[in-house]
Amino acid sequence: MNGWIDKFAEKMMPLAAKLGQNRYLTVLRDAFMLAFPLTMFGSLVVVLNNLPFWPENVSLQLNTLLGNGQNATMSIMTVFVAFGIGYYLTKSYGEDGVFGGVVALASFLILTPFFFETAEGAAVTGALSLDRLGAKGMFIGMIAAFIAAEIYVRITKKGITIKMPNGVPEAVSRSFAALIPAITTLTVFLLLNAAVNGFFNTNLHDVVYTIIQKPLVGLGSGLPATLVALLFAQLLWFFGLHGQVIVNSVMDPIWQTLSLENLAAYKLGDELPHIISKSFMETYTVGLGGSGMTLAVVLMMAFFFKNKQMKEIGRLALAPGVFNVNEPVIFGLPIVLNATIMIPWVITPLIVTSFNYAVMALGIFPIPTGVTVPWTVPIFLSGMMATNSVMGGILQLLDLVIVVLC
């Protein structure tokens, strides 16, 4: 068994290391984390406005009064992600991140139609549609931000900038230094938008959504792709690499988009379109004690194991485990490179996720609404918050039993 593990590790470690250190995946992760406090606030507003015990008229009134809390945060998440990508990518090259961020954001907005049709078919001009700044615009926002930041940085690196004399205030000097790279970058995007509109009578939002985003989101919303992602996360953790961070760097754009689409449907009172989403993954995988759903293991070690060492590790890991921090048990048990525990470590999340998907698809338990619930919220509470139903918390307790059996 150990010989097989060594051979597998030899093949996996270089790939995992490259993924973990990849500039673009790191930037993407950091950009989503930049938006996290804002989406968290928006989620809390949504939960407050739609608590299940509110009478319908109270809920409607709260949405009227407090709805902008969500509109200004979660509904325009692509705005923050585009800025974050521009900022962190430019900064990673050693250049001024703020100007890279605003240029990336402006480039995305140049490609965004400033008109939309209402549900009644009336055309509204000189306005931005929220869905273009949220779920539907996520992929074009990421692509535009990466390309814009790269163009901006390359021009800056070549020294094609305006250099001000000594004594000029730093803010003024930085603005003039960014002038030529910014104008050049924005001109490229303006001409691109004009060409797409002029020659093809469409916009890049719709092109990217149809050709790239929709197929990818459809793939990511399915159970097989989710199980593959979880399998890789568990294997990477087994070899001591942070599987959650590495896998989420790739999958987060898809899962976040699915969450935003669920939230938009939930706000309108429509049927939720996706079972798999960022909310689902956070609540029903990490929300059960961290990666690998180890809270049940920690509880058994702390209260039911007779081995003194196991008991001590369980009790030390219990407090962090309640808040889904499980490094103490991963490295203390240990789970890393422990051949005897590899099979349950890998298959348990796959079994539990398949079970959750099935009971939600059958309508037995509610689907997460798309609100952002911090991954540190304890079990049961996070399930209730994610689904706006006590049944969401009960499902987590059932999951705990399945983990014990595994």
Predicted pLDDT of residue 40? 82
With beta carbons less than 8 A apart as the criterion, state whether 230 and 136 touch.
no
Predicted pLDDT of residue 131? 84
CA angle 376, 381, 385 (to 5 degrees): 95
Predicted pLDDT of residue 247? 82
With beta carbons less than 8 A apart as the criterion, state whether 372 and 77 touch.
no
- Residue 213: strand, helix, or coil: helix
Q: What is the largest CA-CA distance in the chain?
A: 75
* Residue 364, φ and ψ in degrees, nearest 5: -75, -40
Gap between the Cα atoms of 66 and 200, Å rounded = 41
Predicted pLDDT of residue 102? 97
Gap between the Cα atoms of 103 and 95, Å rounded = 13
Handedness of CA 52, 56, 59, 63 (dihedral sign): positive
DSSP for 244-305, please give it.
Answer: HHHHHHHHHHHHHHHHHHHHHHHHHTPPP--SSSHHHHHHHTGGGTSTT-THHHHHHHHHT-
pLDDT in tens for each of the 406 residues of the chain?
A: 555 555 655 665 666 666 667 888 889 889 988 988 888 888 888 878 877 667 878 888 888 898 899 889 988 999 999 999 999 999 999 999 999 999 999 999 999 999 887 767 788 888 888 889 988 899 999 999 999 999 999 999 999 888 888 878 888 888 898 999 999 999 999 999 999 999 888 899 989 888 888 888 888 889 999 999 999 888 888 876 777 777 877 788 899 999 999 998 988 888 999 999 999 999 999 888 888 898 988 898 888 888 888 888 888 888 888 888 887 788 777 787 777 888 888 999 999 999 999 999 999 999 999 998 888 889 999 999 999 999 999 999 999 999 999 8
Gap between the Cα atoms of 80 and 86, Å rounded = 10
Predicted pLDDT of residue 93? 95
Gap between the Cα atoms of 390 and 400, Å rounded = 16
- Residue 263: which residues within 8 A CB-CB, separation 6 or more? 46, 70, 74, 369, 370, 371
- Category of 240 on φ-ψ map: left (φ > 0), alpha (ψ -120 to 50) or beta: left
Q: What is the token pair recorded at 231? A: 């399998």
Domain map (residue ranges) of the chain: 1-22+222-405, 75-216
Gap between the Cα atoms of 393 and 52, Å rounded = 14
Predicted pLDDT of residue 13? 62
- Among candidates 353, 309, 307, which has minimal Cα distance to 329? 309
Gap between the Cα atoms of 297 and 318, Å rounded = 10
Predicted pLDDT of residue 120? 73
Neighbours of 389 (CB within 10 A): 18
